[in-house]
Structure 1
Amino acid sequence: MNFSEAVRDPVHGMIRLERCDLDIVDSAPVQRLRNIRQLGLTDRVYPGACHNRFEHALGTMEVTTRLVEEMKSRLGLDELLRSLGSAVSEQSYIKLLRISRMVALLHDLGHPPFSHVTERLLPRGMHEEMSLALLEHPQIRNGLKSLGEEIWQSVVQVMDPALEDLPSHLRFIRSLVCGEFGSDRMDYLLRDAHHVGVEYGAFDLPRIQHTLRPLETDQGVQLGIEHGGLLAAEGLQWARFSMFTQVYFHRTRRILDLHLVDFLVRTLEQRRYPEEPDEYLRWDDIRVLQMLREADLDPSHPAHASARRIIRRQQHRPLPEVVEGEDVEDVADRLAARVREIRDHEPLKDPVADVVSPPPALSRGGDLPILLENGEIRRLSQLSSLVGRLRVKPHGRIYCAQVAVQQ
């Protein structure tokens, strides 16, 4: 492959591009990601968190490239491709790398404005479904087909969340990019921590890069790691746990998210984003921010109060108590009862309940296959005394208006 182009990046140094990548990178769906914040309204809490999905897409592509290159260097071309059930040839390797790079570049194509914050307003499932639909955009489809019909078809298969029965090499690519220890996660942890200004997201990427490999398990070929990378794998899981508890679940960010969703529900036609891909592409953070500013200045706007809370930092404030429970339903029921009580006695406080549902993937990381020195394959959870204990209990808070929002 001829990486004749490069883009500077604050996290990875240089991101390499082939000239044939440029048409896809410059396409409207990919360029739209410049105007989609990676962490929604988190910059209201951490001012540096203004990075976007575009740089994350490029970063994920570079991490993916380095992982595949390192596997080829360490395992050799023959072992790498044979383990994936692919023909052993330089051409097969180039296809593997190009498919992996394109999946990495395009994996977040369908994110709505402010990313995960407003994902519940998508017309079809989660952002993965919209990403799949946007692969049919002429600039994306033609760009991928220019790399070869097989590459185009393979990218579509890997990115189709409903398709589970994949050939070994495509199943491996999906786990390489989107799995529990995939390049997507590696990039966003490092990138988010860098821009937020915290050390929580740091982990030993070079060591993981040096020890990841395909492993044949009872579930087929999976992305695994050699025993020498065990501590680094634990570090990645700890980094993710810390970023969730300290950044992604930050209480001020959570209430701003709720205000934003409330604003959009009251503003969007049919209370959701448009389903037609070309119309959907017109929605980004800039458009929503302009709508917020206009609603803030218009007391007659149906979402005026929510807009003002965001624009003028008049967001609801959390009550001191945190409600914890063993399951989300229990927490939600207890918070709902408390909200009713406050509304009955102090309606001007306009109580809002927020239930934090822990990401299930925090525990699924323990499924990573580990290759021991004797050739035996075990799971990370069987070898790590740390990973199995990383658990965020379901919890929630109630937020109240400090004063009635002035009209």
Structure 2
Amino acid sequence: MGASVNGELLLTQDFSSVGSRDRRFEKTVYDNVHGNINLEPLFMKFIDTAEFQRLRDLKQLGLAHMVYPGAVHSRFEHSLGVYWLAGEAVHKLQAHQGLELGIDRFDVKTVKLAGLLHDIGHGPYSHLFEREFLPRVLSGSHWSHEEMSVKLVDYMIDENHIDIDPDIVKRAKEMILASSDKPLPKGTGEKRFLYDIVANGRNGIDVDKFDYIARDSRACGLGCNFQYQRLMDTMRVMDNEICYRAKEYLTIHKLFSTRADLYRTVYTHAKVKAIELMFVDALVQADSYCGFSSQIHVPSEYWKLDDTILKAIETATDKEELKESRELIRRIRRRDLYQFCNEYIVPRDNLDHFKNITPQDIVCSQKASGITLKEEDVAVCNVKIDLSRGRCNPLESIKFFKDYESDEKFQISEDKISHLLPTSYQDMIVRVYSKKPELVEVISEAFTNFQRKTYGTETQVHETPEKKKRKTL
């Protein structure tokens, strides 16, 4: 498209084909992180379904609200936030490189739909259900919430008779799976960069992280000085990949370090993990009667599972089969939690060959005493915290450019970055809990013996406090 001025053809962006919309049919909601979010009619068709509204009953941070009272936000507002940021990201690329990249209305709708529905497949209490509960009851299961999201998208469309272009749905589902282990299907190469916006499997920089880092920090009362707006304002597509100005490498590192801080202080807080361990035990006990794990492959049944299962177990006083599960939940309510004994960080030299520590490892390290430990007395939590790329420097997988006049993209080598940044990118923390207060001292001693036997020394920072050891029922 172009206009003629003094006989010269000036190229202009035809925004009518990609950016204009009829605002008469939009709705606006106010979000406490992003402000006003405009919802277009196509996306309202998905939002106004029972399956999407279910996200209101899935807390974003699972059981963390029992330690951080403000962490009661849900997957619903997070999904709206990712939808909004996905739209903002693709519109910024469109404004700066629209003609070059050929971004059209189809692309915009696809990216926004992927952002809206990327978490639709989460189970009760989010990652706890997928990572802690299911492996206990379904050995060897490779179920993922991303794959269930894809199944639920199809189910929602059929169940609610949503009229939508099948090609938009197909590509949106591919974008939802982009960060999983599954390779992208053939045919995504033409606009591969679009698959990096919502769930970035290439380098981990995506609007999903932008939203949950800002939202979780706000809800938990923590400061957040990571500025995702700078990255969105300055990003650029080069050779079908979203790249960033070299001067922003510290901003990108702040993204990953802030995420790691949230994992350490909120997501894997010692008390949060104690509560999670107890609730997972309750779910495992209840599963044979309630059949939660039998619903994970059937979308028509799965969408009915949400955080209300805790209350359902707790109030089913007439069900003898749920007695042990009810008692564990009552203990959580009374703050009679599994007692944290101690923890240690696995030495860096041992990370390559580390295997998860089990209750059996601790019990087998007990020396002769008047009390004989059993595996069911001990709970072990193996916590991995990294900068999103395991033991690798996350900056190594990111492409940078010098300035907007340059057509060259490059990586920043480790010897050229600030010496104040870390040279190790992963922690593995082993925590041990006693399920009975009177066994804290015995389990703590066995845990110390395990460290000496495994590493030749005590790797914990300090001994278990005497006050905790003396605690009894």
Please identify which structure carries the higher helix content: 1
Alpha-carbon shift at residue 183 of structure 1 (Å): 0.4
Partners of 1:149 and 1:175 lie apart in 2 by 21
Pairing of 1:307-322 with structure 2 (within 5 A): 307-322=329-344
Pairing of 1:197-276 with structure 2 (within 5 A): 197-199=221-223, 201-216=224-239, 221-269=240-288, 272-274=293-295, 275-276=297-298
Tell me the equivalent position of 2:107: 96
**Matching residue within 379, 391, 394 for 1:365:** 394
**Residue 222 and residue 309 in structure 1: after superposition, are their counterparts in 2 closer, same or farther (change >3 A)?**
farther
Q: Is the 8 A contact 1:193 1:202 kept in 2?
A: no
Alpha-carbon shift at residue 297 of structure 1 (Å): 9.8
**Residue 156 and residue 175 in structure 1: after superposition, are their counterparts in 2 closer, same or farther (change >3 A)?**
same
**Residue 22 and residue 307 in structure 1: after superposition, are their counterparts in 2 closer, same or farther (change >3 A)?**
same
**Residue 12 and residue 338 in structure 1: after superposition, are their counterparts in 2 closer, same or farther (change >3 A)?**
same
Q: Say if 2:189 is the partner of 1:168.
A: yes
Tell me the equivalent position of 2:383: 356
Tell me the equivalent position of 1:196: 220
Q: Say if 2:112 is the partner of 1:78.
A: no
Partners of 2:363 and 2:318 lie apart in 1 by 26
**Residue 387 and residue 248 in structure 1: after superposition, are their counterparts in 2 closer, same or farther (change >3 A)?**
farther
Q: Is the 8 A contact 1:292 1:311 kept in 2?
A: no
Alpha-carbon shift at residue 224 of structure 1 (Å): 1.9
Pairing of 1:268-307 with structure 2 (within 5 A): 268-269=287-288, 272-274=293-295, 275-294=297-316, 301-307=323-329
Q: Is the 8 A contact 1:323 1:335 kept in 2?
A: no
Q: Is the 8 A contact 1:24 1:30 kept in 2?
A: yes
Q: Is the 8 A contact 1:335 1:397 kept in 2?
A: no
Q: Is the 8 A contact 2:316 2:322 kept in 1?
A: no
Corresponding letter in the other structure for 2:411: R
Q: Is the 8 A contact 1:324 1:393 kept in 2?
A: yes
Tell me the equivalent position of 2:67: 45
Q: Is the 8 A contact 1:100 1:173 kept in 2?
A: yes
**Residue 29 and residue 300 in structure 1: after superposition, are their counterparts in 2 closer, same or farther (change >3 A)?**
closer
Corresponding letter in the other structure for 2:52: V
**Matching residue within 403, 407, 411 for 1:379:** 411
Tell me the equivalent position of 1:159: 176
Alpha-carbon shift at residue 16 of structure 1 (Å): 1.4
**Matching residue within 135, 140, 143 for 1:125:** 143
| SS state at 2:382 partner | strand
**Residue 149 and residue 252 in structure 1: after superposition, are their counterparts in 2 closer, same or farther (change >3 A)?**
same
**Residue 232 and residue 300 in structure 1: after superposition, are their counterparts in 2 closer, same or farther (change >3 A)?**
closer
Partners of 2:387 and 2:317 lie apart in 1 by 37
Alpha-carbon shift at residue 318 of structure 1 (Å): 1.0
Partners of 1:191 and 1:174 lie apart in 2 by 23
Deviations 1:215-248 (A, max 9, x none): 22xxxx2222122432321221221121112211
**Residue 172 and residue 2 in structure 1: after superposition, are their counterparts in 2 closer, same or farther (change >3 A)?**
farther
Q: Is the 8 A contact 2:344 2:431 kept in 1?
A: yes
Normalising by structure 1, we get a TM-score of: 0.85
Larger Rg: 2
Tell me the equivalent position of 2:82: 60
Q: Is the 8 A contact 1:241 1:390 kept in 2?
A: no
Partners of 1:300 and 1:341 lie apart in 2 by 33
Alpha-carbon shift at residue 52 of structure 1 (Å): 0.4
Q: Is the 8 A contact 2:359 2:378 kept in 1?
A: no
**Residue 402 and residue 357 in structure 1: after superposition, are their counterparts in 2 closer, same or farther (change >3 A)?**
same
| SS state at 1:7 partner | strand
Alpha-carbon shift at residue 262 of structure 1 (Å): 1.4
Gaps of 5+ in 2: 1-20, 135-140, 440-471
Partners of 1:370 and 1:296 lie apart in 2 by 62
Q: Say if 2:194 is the partner of 1:177.
A: no
| SS state at 2:236 partner | strand
Corresponding letter in the other structure for 2:394: G
Q: Say if 2:163 is the partner of 1:134.
A: no
Q: Which has the higher contact order (CA 8 A, sep 6+)?
A: 1
Partners of 2:292 and 2:300 lie apart in 1 by 18
RMSD over aligned CA atoms reads 3.1
Tell me the equivalent position of 1:108: 119
**Residue 50 and residue 346 in structure 1: after superposition, are their counterparts in 2 closer, same or farther (change >3 A)?**
farther
Alpha-carbon shift at residue 381 of structure 1 (Å): 5.5
Larger displacement relative to structure 2 (51-60 or 300-309): 300-309
Larger displacement relative to structure 2 (230-239 or 134-143): 134-143
Partners of 1:42 and 1:242 lie apart in 2 by 15
Q: Number of paired residues?
A: 390
Q: Is the 8 A contact 2:60 2:74 kept in 1?
A: yes
Alpha-carbon shift at residue 296 of structure 1 (Å): 11
| SS state at 1:268 partner | helix
| SS state at 1:355 partner | strand
Partners of 1:296 and 1:142 lie apart in 2 by 36
Alpha-carbon shift at residue 390 of structure 1 (Å): 5.5
Q: Say if 2:58 is the partner of 1:26.
A: no
Q: Is the 8 A contact 1:109 1:134 kept in 2?
A: yes
Q: Is the 8 A contact 2:80 2:116 kept in 1?
A: yes
**Residue 276 and residue 196 in structure 1: after superposition, are their counterparts in 2 closer, same or farther (change >3 A)?**
same
**Residue 233 and residue 377 in structure 1: after superposition, are their counterparts in 2 closer, same or farther (change >3 A)?**
same
Q: Is the 8 A contact 2:399 2:411 kept in 1?
A: yes
Larger displacement relative to structure 2 (31-40 or 305-314): 305-314
